[in-house]
Amino acid sequence: MVDMKNRKYLIIPTCLILSLTVITGCFDFFGFDESYDPPLIINQPPVISGLNNVFLSPGFGKYEIDFANYVSDQEGEIINYQVTNSDESVIDISLDNTVLTISEVGAGSSDITVTATDGQEGHDVSATFAVIIASVLGAEDYTGNASVLIDFNGHGTGSVVDNPVPNFTFEGLNFEHDGTNFGSITLENNDHLMITHNVSETYIWSEYNLGGNQDFTGKTLRFDYSHFTAPTLSGAHWEDDPTAADIQLYFVDETWGASGGQKQISSLNLEYAESWQSIEIPLSDFISLWGLPADPSTVGYIGIEVWGGEQGDPISFRIDNIGIVD
């Protein structure tokens, strides 16, 4: 007890206050409950998602799939893999860490089953997908009213470097990035185009020369696609973000300086499909390319630009009947 100017004060040690707080249940007063038990965290098995059937044309040689792009684990544990191959007369397989290499043996179909585990008991998960080696036919010919249409019929089979398509220019096919050939554009089965891009921070593009400016006011760009696979598309251009991945449809005038419009595939939410799917986009929906007015009344070229993708997780798709229609 201390007497200060005729007033008496009782001084209680801090340790005693804390003891009283605990004893009298003041934890509840401050929002704490000493009886609270934290939730039990249960270790979850890995999850496999996004593995689709793989269609390969005869003569492909080797093809890689990186399972790290399709398997996730909530706790971030190390994943171990096992794979089986149902038909060794069609393909051989080998596994190096997370990367599966498929080697061509013959035509046909083989089922691959991948089993992933994080080492915990009962945490083996499996998924099966087919590898089909066969020629894929192009889409049915477009029969509507078209101002310009490229159907790729009759231009051969194999690389467009060896089988040029009239009025089409392709860039990036022979460029090597860090010693890796980063993609291909091939004519398939003499009737459609297949585009593959598998190295990040690079690009390839192809464009069709219309032979002068055309007025496509009120018209639509259309194409058929199938077997579309890609990593998550970013919606950013490689010039703005070197790590981006996307596909851009575009048009420009013949001088590349008066008008230009673009539409990125990421905005269309394309999905994997083994059958051919048709897409139509009004040219009025295209937005500015390089700050140019997206004016469909002055179109000299139409094209496709692809960037991003990785070995084992490429941007890959088949395309047919691309053109401008009513």
Task: Give the model's confidence band at 225: pLDDT under 50 very low, under 70 low, under 90 confident, else very high.
Answer: very high
Beta-carbon count within 10 A of 21 CB: 13
Q: How far apart, in whole angstroms, are the C-alpha atoms of residue 55 and residue 136?
A: 8
Which is nearest to 274 in space by CA: 68, 47, 56, 58? Answer: 56
Q: What is the pLDDT of residues 181-213, one digit of tens each?
A: 556 888 888 899 999 888 777 888 889 999 999
Task: Give the model's confidence band at 177: pLDDT under 50 very low, under 70 low, under 90 confident, else very high.
Answer: very low
Q: What is the pLDDT of residues 57-74, one digit of tens each?
A: 888 889 899 999 899 998
Which is nearest to 100 in space by CA: 143, 66, 56? Answer: 66
Mean pLDDT of 308-318: 86
Which fold does the domain 146-325 belong to in CATH? Jelly Rolls (2.60.120)
Is the per-residue pLDDT at 7 higher than 60?
no
250 — phi, psi (to 5°)? -150, 165
What ranges do the domains of the chain cover? 47-133, 146-325
Architecture of the domain made up of 47-133: Sandwich (2.60)
Is the per-residue pLDDT at 280 higher than 60?
yes
Q: How far apart, in whole angstroms, are the C-alpha atoms of residue 267 and residue 290?
A: 18
Q: What is the mean pLDDT of the chain?
A: 86
Task: Determine contact, residues 230/309, Cβ cutoff 8 Å.
Answer: yes
Which is nearest to 320 in space by CA: 90, 167, 153, 89? Answer: 153
The residues pairing with 187 across neighbouring beta strands, listed in sequence order, are: 158, 193
- Extract the runs of DSSP E, i.e. beta strands, from 36-182: 47-48, 54-56, 62-66, 71-72, 80-85, 91-96, 99-104, 108-117, 125-133, 146-150, 158-159, 168-171, 176-177, 180-181
Q: What is the pLDDT of residues 40-51, one digit of tens each?
A: 778 899 999 989
Same topology for domains 47-133 and 146-325, yes or no? no
**52/221: higher pLDDT:** 221
Burial 72-93 (b: 16+ CB within 10 A, else e): ebeeebebebebebeeeebbeb
Instruction: Return the percent helix, strand and coil in the chain, to nearest 5.
Output: 5, 45, 50
Q: How far apart, in whole angstroms, are the C-alpha atoms of residue 307 and residue 233?
A: 10
Q: What is the pLDDT of residues 289-310, one digit of tens each?
A: 999 999 999 999 999 999 988 8
Is the pTM value of this prediction over 0.75? no
* C-alpha dihedral sign at 67, 68, 71, 76: positive
Q: How many CA atoms lie within 13 A of 149 on its CB side?
A: 16
Q: Do β-strands 54-56 and 203-214 pair in parallel, antiparallel, or remain unpaired?
A: unpaired
